[in-house]
């Protein structure tokens, strides 16, 4: 396939063009404010920061990382739709670190609104606050924002490029531009003359692409349908390239062994390791060592042979103490009160329910352990890495090796899973430092699975306490307290060295922002001061609050003697129609309320997160040989469904990620070290215990929602609610395997 060769060549061109400033054809507003990082080579045109046309074809630059969520395909479809490019003619590449690729939608999430109450005023305000993202170089893939961020920008890029191509063709043919039309990567003149876009690359150099209106949705050909993913052939033939697959002449292979207590080294002795076969060198990384060898496995063996005296952890050394600290903050004063409807201190008639919940630390455990490839040549550093945050990687690597950011080139490869883990910069910085100690030699660094499991930035353990009152079959009052160490603070300190001002909304998302009308409704956040390695884990705060809040809603429904699905529906109907819509839909899909055998249990779960309401019904079966999940029905409302096949895959993926964590995910600490090592003690769903799924995608939401994360939070709650329905036992702690005999 000729395309593979082209990809490699174009990667190089764009990689080397990174940063150096803009030529080319300005169009859309964003480009005017941030320089185009693409430099046109001989016979090429970089029409916008998103499109490169040369004689070989049309390349679309995706500003977001492809980590499995299909973002390259959907972002390319946004451009191709307006560009009238034939789908087979397109190649998609990751963009270099550049201001032009900042994520406007991500920062908008920080504004103090209930996101479901999204009036146009609030929507526009969020968009403009999002512009600050450009100043912060917020080129980050996260928060389920990629498509929302790109939806207008990338269609505009395609539209103005199309108009530029028409102008070029009109000039060449000396015919009025108004008589030109475009189709299948060609400009077609009134007399039928066709000119391929690739033949117009040279002509484009003197043309400023005009601004133009976007097409009406009724005219869409690609958007709204399931497109063949641009990465699918590579991923089905072993030819897709991850950071761990980069091959360069003279390559050496490295691994690291870092302090499992996340501190420094007191001393180490590498005498034995240095004498082992294939070993080139052992490098001191301050918080651990790296071994460079002629083969990755030889490096891993030698790393084990280094005798290291580690410093102790700076955080409490065992799970019990950590949980104690979180429990203590639950009793302490609130750091935030971001939902406070009515008056929860008033005396209300009805039945009072009190419940406490607890969830453990979780690892991301991407299939590809942390890997990066780097080459240092004195005044230049090149890094190949699967990253959700290329600008951050560039700047942190530059700092680590004493270069300016513009001397560092970051090539973003495909990510072997992200889930938030690859928004961190620890591993590319290690590769950069190893490369610096062996100038000229390309270094491919691969962590062991054990290193990966024990050096994650974990989803924090969290606890909650809820008080509620039900009367007349309805929730009258909900007062919830949520305690955990702050993911936002932990990551902000690593990335920026300071904590952002204002209440930590991420800490209470999935509870405080739920679209339910409850007369007295308060959620307070309680932050636990712990200096822990914590990070963004698929759905972030929703990952624990979704379980806490929706499980408590289920408890209230039972206390009110109401049908759990109808109970949620009643509260959502009064507050947010799209949310009510998904709850009703999942009821219809699952034939909710139908009689089931006694060995079958069903539960419903609902969470509104990342702009998308998702309701899930889970059916569990007591097989007599353990409990299994039989079925899962999912209804989501994404507003505008750009690629139904990808959205369906993400909803199922998110639910499986949630089920895996809810059933058995648990990271524990002893002597400051994580006690889990590999997939044998931190496992996930597999083929035999994955249920059948049915997904319905709805489009009544007035604004587009995300799809990568919203499937995860309700899955955890729905499973627990189904197990309650089956067994009568209410699990208020995860993982559920500690309470139920689940088939693993």
Of 57, 97, 416, 541, the one binding another protein (CB under 8 A) is: 416
Pairing state between β 408-412 and 443-446 = unpaired
Examine residue 448 and tell whether it contacts another protein (CB under 8 A): yes
Q: Of the ranges 21-29, 128-136, 261-269, 683-691, which one interacts with another protein (CB under 8 A)?
A: 683-691
295 belongs to the binding site for another protein (CB under 8 A): yes
Q: How far is the CB of 73 from another protein (least distance, A)?
A: 9
In the complex with another protein, which residue's Cβ is closer, 207 or 685?
685
12 touching another protein, by CB under 8 A: no
Helix H or strand E encompassing 612 = strand 612-622
Structure tokens at 18: 């990174």
Nearer to another protein, 238 or 333 (CB): 238
- Asked if residues 737 and 663 have their Cβ atoms less than 8 Å apart, the reply is yes
Which of 16, 198, 678, 739 is close enough to bind another protein by CB under 8 A? Answer: 678
Q: C-alpha angle 423/427/429, rounded to 5°?
A: 100
**HSE toward the beta carbon, residue 329, CA cutoff 13 A:** 24
Q: Tokens 């990966």 label which residue?
A: 452
Half-sphere exposure of 609 (CA within 13 A, CB side): 38
The stretch near another protein (CB under 8 A) out of 162-170, 223-231, 262-270, 468-476 is 223-231
Residue 626: CB minimum distance to another protein, A: 14
Is 686 one of the binding residues for another protein (CB under 8 A)? yes
- Interatomic CA distance for residues 246 and 249, integer angstroms: 10
Kindly state whether residue 245 participates in binding another protein, applying the rule CB under 8 A. Answer: yes
Q: What is the DSSP string of 23-54?
A: -S---SHHHHHS-------TT-EEEETTEEEE
Residue closer to another protein, measured from CB, 252 or 602: 252
DSSP 512: T
Q: Is 508 in the site for another protein (CB under 8 A)?
A: no
Residue 554: CB atoms within 10 A of its CB come to 26
Q: How many other CB atoms sit within 10 Å of the CB of residue 440?
A: 10
Taking CB under 8 A as the binding criterion, the range among 22-30, 88-96, 360-368, 728-736 that sits at the site for another protein is 360-368
| Residue choice 325, 326, 414, 562 for contact with another protein (CB under 8 A) | 414
* Cis? peptide before 733, omega within 30° of 0: no
Judged by CB under 8 A, the residue of 110, 136, 177, 240 near another protein is: 240
Q: What angle do CA 562, 565, 567 make, to 5 degrees?
A: 45
Residue 589 found at the interface with another protein (CB under 8 A): no
Of the listed pieces 44-52, 67-75, 194-202, 492-500, which binds another protein according to CB under 8 A?
67-75
697 near another protein, judged by CB under 8 A? no
Q: What is the DSSP string of 566-580?
A: HHHHHHHHTT-HHHH
Distance, CA of 347 to CA of 547 (rounded, Å): 27
By CB under 8 A, the count of residues binding another protein is: 68
Binding of residue 458 to another protein (CB under 8 A): no
Q: Measuring CA to CA, how many Å separate 353 from each of 164, 329, 508, 599?
A: 65, 22, 21, 28
Residues 649-668 that bind another protein (CB under 8 A): 649, 652-653, 655-657, 660
Interface stretch with another protein, choices 38-46, 187-195, 362-370, 489-497 (CB under 8 A): 362-370
Q: Rounded to an integer, what distance in angstroms lies between the CA atom of residue 244 and that of residue 372?
A: 6
Judged by beta carbon, residue 47 or residue 634, the one nearer another protein is 634
Q: Which spans of this chain sit near another protein (rule: CB under 8 A)?
A: 1, 3-4, 67-70, 226, 228-229, 231-242, 244-245, 247, 253, 277-278, 294-298, 300, 365-369, 414-419, 446, 448-449, 645, 649, 652-653, 655-657, 660, 678-680, 683-688, 690, 692-693
């Amino acid at each position: 396939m000729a395309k593979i060769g082209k990809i490699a060549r174009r990667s190089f061109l764009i990689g080397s063009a990174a940063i150096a400033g803009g030529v080319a054809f300005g169009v859309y507003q964003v480009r005017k404010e941030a320089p185009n990082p693409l430099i046109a080579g001989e016979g090429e045109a970089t029409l916008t920061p998103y499109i490169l046309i040369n004689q070989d074809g049309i390349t679309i630059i995706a500003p977001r990382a492809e980590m499995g969520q299909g973002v390259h395909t959907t972002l390319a479809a946004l451009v191709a739709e307006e560009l009238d490019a034939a789908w087979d003619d397109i190649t998609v590449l990751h963009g270099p670190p550049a201001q032009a690729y900042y994520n406007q939608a991500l920062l908008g999430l920080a504004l103090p609104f209930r996101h479901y109450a999204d009036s146009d005023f609030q929507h526009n305000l969020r968009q403009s606050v999002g512009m600050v993202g450009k100043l912060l170089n917020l080129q980050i893939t996260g928060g389920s924002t990629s498509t929302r961020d790109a939806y207008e920008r990338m269609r505009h890029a395609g539209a103005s490029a199309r108009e530029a191509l028409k102008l070029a063709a009109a000039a060449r043919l000396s015919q009025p531009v108004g008589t030109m039309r475009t189709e299948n990567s060609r400009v077609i003149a009134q007399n039928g003359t066709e000119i391929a876009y690739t033949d117009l690359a040279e002509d484009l150099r003197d043309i400023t692409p005009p601004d133009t209106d976007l097409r009406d949705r009724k005219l869409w050909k690609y958007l709204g349908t399931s497109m063949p993913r641009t990465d699918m052939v590579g991923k089905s033939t072993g030819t897709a390239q991850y950071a761990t697959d980069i091959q360069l002449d003279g390559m050496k292979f490295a691994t690291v062994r870092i302090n499992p207590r996340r501190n420094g080294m007191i001393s180490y002795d590498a005498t034995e390791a240095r004498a082992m076969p294939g070993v080139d060198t052992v490098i001191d990384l301050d918080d651990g060592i790296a071994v460079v060898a002629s083969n990755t496995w030889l490096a891993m063996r030698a790393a084990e042979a280094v005798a290291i005296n580690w410093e102790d952890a700076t955080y409490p050394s065992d799970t019990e103490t950590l949980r104690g600290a979180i429990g203590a903050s639950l009793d302490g004063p609130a750091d935030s009160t971001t939902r406070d409807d009515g008056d929860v201190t008033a005396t209300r008639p009805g039945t009072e329910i009190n419940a406490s919940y607890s969830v453990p630390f979780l690892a991301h455990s991407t299939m590809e352990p942390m890997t990066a490839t780097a080459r240092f040549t004195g005044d230049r550093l090149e890094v190949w890495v699967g990253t959700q945050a290329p600008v951050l990687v560039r700047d942190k690597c530059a700092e680590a090796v004493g270069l300016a950011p513009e001397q560092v080139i970051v090539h973003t490869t495909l990510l072997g899973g992200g889930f938030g883990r690859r928004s961190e910069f620890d591993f590319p910085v290690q590769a950069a430092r190893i490369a610096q100690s062996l100038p000229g030699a390309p270094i491919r660094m691969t962590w062991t699975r054990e290193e990966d499991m024990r050096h994650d930035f974990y989803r924090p353990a969290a606890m909650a306490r809820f008080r509620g009152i039900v009367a007349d079959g309805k929730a009258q009052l909900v007062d919830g307290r949520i305690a955990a160490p702050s993911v936002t603070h932990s990551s902000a300190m690593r990335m920026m060295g300071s904590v952002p001002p204002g209440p930590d909304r991420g800490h209470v998302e999935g509870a405080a922002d739920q679209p339910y009308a409850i007369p007295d409704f308060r959620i307070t956040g309680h932050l636990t001061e712990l200096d822990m390695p914590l990070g963004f884990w698929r759905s972030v705060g929703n990952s624990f609050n979704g379980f806490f809040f929706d499980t408590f809603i289920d408890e209230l429904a039972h206390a009110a003697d109401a049908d759990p699905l109808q109970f949620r529906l009643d509260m959502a109907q009064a507050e947010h129609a799209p949310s009510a819509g998904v709850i009703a839909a999942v009821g219809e899909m699952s034939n909710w309320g139908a009689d089931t055998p006694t060995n079958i249990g069903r539960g419903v779960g609902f969470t509104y997160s990342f702009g998308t309401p998702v309701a899930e019904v889970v059916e569990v079966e007591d097989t007599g040989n353990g409990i299994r999940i039989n079925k899962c029905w999912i209804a989501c409302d994404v507003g505008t469904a750009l690629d139904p096949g990808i959205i369906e895959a993400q909803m199922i993926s998110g639910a499986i990620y949630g089920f895996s964590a809810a059933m058995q995910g648990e990271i524990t600490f002893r002597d400051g070290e994580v006690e889990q090592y590999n997939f044998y003690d931190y496992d996930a769903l597999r083929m035999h215990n994955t249920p059948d799924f049915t997904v319905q995608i709805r489009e009544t939401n007035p604004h587009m929602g995300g799809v990568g994360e919203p499937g995860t939070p309700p899955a955890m709650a729905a499973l627990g609610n189904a197990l309650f329905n089956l067994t009568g036992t209410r699990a208020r702690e995860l993982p559920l395997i500690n309470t139920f005999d689940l088939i693993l």
